[in-house]
Amino acid sequence: MAAVQWHSRARRYESELQSCGLEVAPVEFSDYHPLKSITVTDSKSRRGARKGSTSSSSSSSSSVAPDPLSSMLDGTDPLSMFAAASASESPLTLSQSSSTGDLGRGKRREKEDEVGVDFEPWSSKRGEILARFTTTEKLSINLFMGSEKGKAPSLASSSAVSEKVRTRLEELDDLEEGSQRELLNLSQQDYVNRIEELNQSLKEAWASDQKVKALKIVIQCSKLLSDTAVIQFYPSKFVLITDILDTFGRLVYERIWSMCSDPHYSPDSFTADEVNDTAKETCLNWFFKIASIRELIPRLYVEVALLKCNRFLTKCGIQETVPRLTAMIRGIGDPLVAVYARAYLCRIGMEVAPHLKDSLNKNFFDLLGTFRQIHGDSVQNQLVLQRVEIPVYLTLYSPAIHWILQCVSYRAPEALLTEMMERCKKLGNNALLLNSVMWAFRAEFIATRATDFIGMIKDCDEAGFPKHLLFGSLGRSLACADPPEAERLPILNEAWKVITKVRSPQDYINCAEIWVEFTCRHFTKREVNTVLSDIIKHMTPDRAFEDAYPQLQSVIRKILTYFHDFSVLFSMERFLPFMDMFQKDSVRVGVCLSIMDVFIKHQQEPTRDPVILNALLHVCKTMHDSVNALTLEDEKRSLALLINGFIRMVSFGRDFEQQLSFCVEARATFCNLEPVLVQLIHTVNQLAMETRRVMRGSHSRKTAAFVRACAAYSFITIPSLTSIFSRLNLYLLSGQVALANQCLSQADAFLKAAVSVLPEVPRSISIEGKLRSSEGFLLDFINNFLSALLVVPDHPEAGVLFLVRGLLNMVQDYTWEDNSDAKVHVYISALPLLAAMSQESYLYSIPKVDSNETLYGGDPKFLAEINKLCETLIGQVLDHLKTLGRDESVHRQGSLAFSLFGCLLAHGDLRNNKLNQLAVNLWNLSHKQGYCNTRTSVRTLEFIKHQAQQPDMAYLSDMLHRLTLQSRT
């Protein structure tokens, strides 16, 4: 094909804009608009008045800047609506056995005697107890089943699976009648495993209808609770074995329940009269069997486990049984065993019949009555034998007494609590009780009497219950409820006087950590600072802090919850020294993360406070330095997010130079985190633009130098990024910023750098772990770049259209994907740019920067140069079209031809016959194969018709006649 001649159409941008501008129609607020929040009638769960529309809410907003996203979501967020809806419904009952079963119902009918959500369930205590009461001593399990035919215990501890299975099978056999085994020398883990095995064999026995065997297993298990050897482990043993009892209780209940298989009445509210005789008889049988259990403790525990089954027999069965069982516990001589039995009874009582408060109280008073047993001779002898210290022994009681008191005090009237407290007071050596009272009673109750409690704690015997635990419990209550204003300081002083004397660092920090919350809640940084310095003093010797990281972290967390003002926070002298105690890297970084998290959440305004900046820079540096080759991508991202948040919050106001030097410092500090560098470049670019704004567009000498420094900063930072598209986009952006600031040579340098980087773009890049073709991104970038080039003036020493040519050369040399039209697309999109460049006045320009329009002033040579370039490009496109025609890719040929046609129509001067002919040919080519979108074609024709009506475009109507529309048929 002969070379085409290009003539750009002359454009009058302003009149075009006017003629194609749409009519401005005022939008009524009530009109539908896709971006306006959809007005939903408030769901019932939501009480707060919500604004009818976004616009009204933002207009009424006060000092807080209206965040379009949040105001958009206000009230209509589907997720929060679901949450609200589900909260109003009752949560699913998780399991029948746990006391949470009552929670669901508790919400619907808040009865006085129901257990509500505010009652901390046993399941949450369980794990705590198991974790706290452990032992390294050897344990033993003694199981007698039926008669005393001895059988040698075979303790084959082999790891081989077959061996394991065999021993397990043997064990099961051993549970048969007439076997006895004693397992000695079990480690704690072994012991736990054995108990779990027993639990399993209980379920198996039950499933295989061996009810008697199941009962025997349960009896044997509960018998273990009378054994107080290895007393430190007793609380955990209690937990393990009561789990089995719970299982058993549930199995029996469900079995009897299934026998009454009458679907008419609900499991919650049936009465004994509705139960049929068979079920009753079975239930009665169980009770007779249990009543004949010889030993007291198994009989008690099993009967408690089956307490709920009393509902099948008589209406007031439970009501009569619980007091009897309560009295029965008096027969247990060992106070520890007795108190745990009481705890179990209280637990089941709360689950089955929460309205029976009297029995709970009776339990507690019985406990007080037998309290002196703890200091009796039998206990003392036992402790000597087991070599257990009294304070350790006393803490074994805590979980049980806590639990009993929690049950007793749950929704109890104030008078009752006062009475209980008085009775505890009267007993000698009552620290243990005192501790539980503070733990279990309502925090408000404790808080109003805090001073009394301190007095009582002081009166306690030094040798008994550890005082730091007492203060810990008090502190826990005071953290949730406030004591009277006037007493606060004396309380803190008194408490800290004792705490600071605690010798063991571990005990000390456990207690101190609790009191930090109280201190932060009610006092200023001065007191907190004192507390911190005391902690440092205690924890530094012998590097004691190494064992107390969780507590120290919690101290920081508590401080951060109460101190959101970072200038106050960092002005505490001891805060940073406190931070220095975190010497293990992972912990240190964790603490830094939480600090930054709080900073970003709560810092409202940008800051330049040197204290904050220094401290946070230090914190961020710690986070940054934790990054190594093994750091996960996600971790890096979250670190970078936090650091970016910090950088965004730094502002030196008008002191731009200092801001820049901050960025320089930050770049040095955070060089390993790419997103941070990107953020820094953006910050610096923003800084340059801010300078321009302040100077109202005309730089003084000094500011000109400054913006050049900014450009230099970006220019040397960008190459250190690895992501190619970040680099390209930042080059372009920085180039635009430089241009806007009249730094022509810097802008040139940026753009040249971008062009020179282009060949490095790989054909595929990884996005979120998947390999994707980079073509789309590259095309986007090039189009963006081209539009920027319009305003870039040519360098006086380089040739005409130096950058455009450079870019096109790069495009030509770039190894595009095989079989791709991307290159041709770039050529086609370069045509509008060139057409725009040949106009007399450009579509847009930068103030105070002379674009090519002024430089060349419409010089014919310049225009000729442009036209030549266009012709080359069109030639290239046509060549490509030809090759496509040969291949089987006529579809692509058609669409390419059509886009070139569109380009010619918009930007070419179609008065020129050759160009006109080319356009018609392209139209025909694109329609030849019938792949063209008919709708687009029709609309194009309509457009041409519309254009032709304008006075100077009449020639288009001629062309219109030559464009025929082919229907696909």
Partner 1 sequence: MSASLDIRLKRANKVYHEGEVLAGVVAIVSKEAVQHQGITLTMEGIVNLQLSSKSVGVFEAFYNSVKPIQLITSNIEVVKQGKVPGGKTEIPFEFPLHTKGNKVLYETYHGVFVNIQYTLRCDMKRSLLAKDLSKTCEFMVHCLPQKAKLQPTPVDFTITPETLQNVRERSLLPKFLIRGHLDATNCVITKPLTGELVVESSDVAIKSIELQLVRVETCGCAEGYARDATEIQNIQIAEGDVCHSLPIPIYMVFPRLFTCPTLETINFKVEFEVNVVIVLHDEHLITENFPLKLCRA
Site of interaction with partner 1 (CB under 8 A) = 226, 276-278, 280-281, 284, 287-288, 291-292, 294-297, 299, 324, 327-328, 330-334, 337, 369-370, 372-373, 376-378
Q: Which is nearer to partner 1, 10 or 327 (CB)?
A: 327
Q: Among positive and negative, which fits the CA dihedral 855, 857, 858, 861?
A: negative
Find out whether 685 and 733 touch, Cβ atoms under 8 Å. Answer: yes
Please name the helix (run of DSSP H) or strand (run of DSSP E) that holds residue 226, with its range, or none: none
Buried b (16+ CB within 10 A) or exposed e, 445-463: bbbbbbeebbebbeebeee
User: Least CB distance from residue 324 to partner 1, whole Å?
Assistant: 7
The terminus-to-terminus CA distance of the chain in angstroms comes to 30
Nearer to partner 1, 295 or 813 (CB): 295
Label residue 645 exposed, middle or buried (CB < 10 Å: 0-12, 13-18, 19+).
Answer: middle
Q: Distance (Å, rounded) from C-alpha 399 to C-alpha 439?
A: 10
Instruction: Check the CA dihedral 411-414-419-424 and report its sign.
Output: positive
**CB nearer partner 1, residue 69 or residue 291:** 291
SS3 83: helix
**What contacts 507, CB < 8 A, 6 or more positions away?**
466, 468
The distance of closest approach from Cβ of residue 144 to partner 1 in the complex, given in angstroms and rounded to an integer, is 15
CA distance 95 to 78: 30
Residue (49 or 291) nearer to partner 1, CB = 291
The 10 Å CB-count burial string (b at 16+, else e) for 519-529 is: bbebbebebbb
As measured in angstroms, the least distance from the Cβ of 447 to partner 1 is 35
Tell me how far apart the alpha carbons of residues 75 and 77 are, in angstroms, rounded to a whole number. Answer: 6
Q: Is 639 exposed, middle or buried (0-12, 13-18, 19+ CB in 10 A)?
A: buried
Nearer to partner 1, 33 or 372 (CB): 372
Question: Minimal distance in Å, beta carbon 277 to partner 1?
Answer: 4
Nearest distance, CB of residue 208 and partner 1, angstroms = 21
Q: Choose between 226 and 594: whose C-beta lies nearer to partner 1.
A: 226
Please report how close the Cβ of residue 379 comes to partner 1 at its closest, in angstroms. 9
CB 284 to partner 1: min, Å: 8
- Nearest approach, Cβ of residue 488 and partner 1 (Å): 42
Q: Which one-letter amino acid corresponds to residue 167?
A: T
CA atoms within 13 A on the CB side of 84: 14
- C-beta closer to partner 1: residue 370 or 851: 370
Classify 141 as helix, strand or coil: strand
Smallest separation, CB 183 to partner 1 (Å)? 23
Closer of 328 and 765 to partner 1 (Cβ) = 328
Return the SS3 of 818: coil
Min dist. Cβ of residue 316 to partner 1 (A): 16
Q: What token pair was written down for 287?
A: 């009770």
Query: Least distance to partner 1 from the beta carbon of 202, Å?
Result: 23
For residue 375, CA distances in Å to 133, 338, 370, 378, 437 come to 21, 14, 10, 8, 20
Cα 905 off chain centre by: 54
Q: CA-CA distance, 460 to 211, in Å (whole number)? A: 51
Instruction: State which residue, 119 or 286, has the beta carbon closest to partner 1.
Output: 286
- Specify the length of the chain in residues: 969
User: What's the token pair of residue 526?
Assistant: 């001065």
Separation CA 167–CA 931 (nearest Å): 77
Give the HSE-up count for residue 313: Cα atoms under 13 Å, Cβ half-sphere.
20
CB-wise, 282 or 966, nearer to partner 1?
282
- Choice between 386 and 530, CB closer to partner 1: 386
Q: How far is the CB of 143 from partner 1 (least distance, A)?
A: 19
Q: Which is nearer to partner 1, 259 or 611 (CB)?
A: 259
User: In the complex, what is the shortest distance from the CB of residue 377 to partner 1, in angstroms, rounded to a whole number?
Assistant: 7
* Rounded least distance, CB 363 to partner 1, Å: 14
Residue 181 in 3-state DSSP?
strand
- Give 309 or 337: the residue with its C-beta nearer to partner 1: 337
The residue (of 378 and 720) whose beta carbon lies closer to partner 1 is: 378
Please tell me the distance from the alpha carbon of residue 579 to that of residue 41, in angstroms, as a whole number: 51
C-beta of residue 427 within 8 angstroms of C-beta of residue 371? yes
331-354: burial string, b at 16+ Cβ within 10 Å, e else = ebebbbbbbbbbbbbbbbbbbbbb
CA distance linking residue 804 with residue 740, whole number of Å = 19
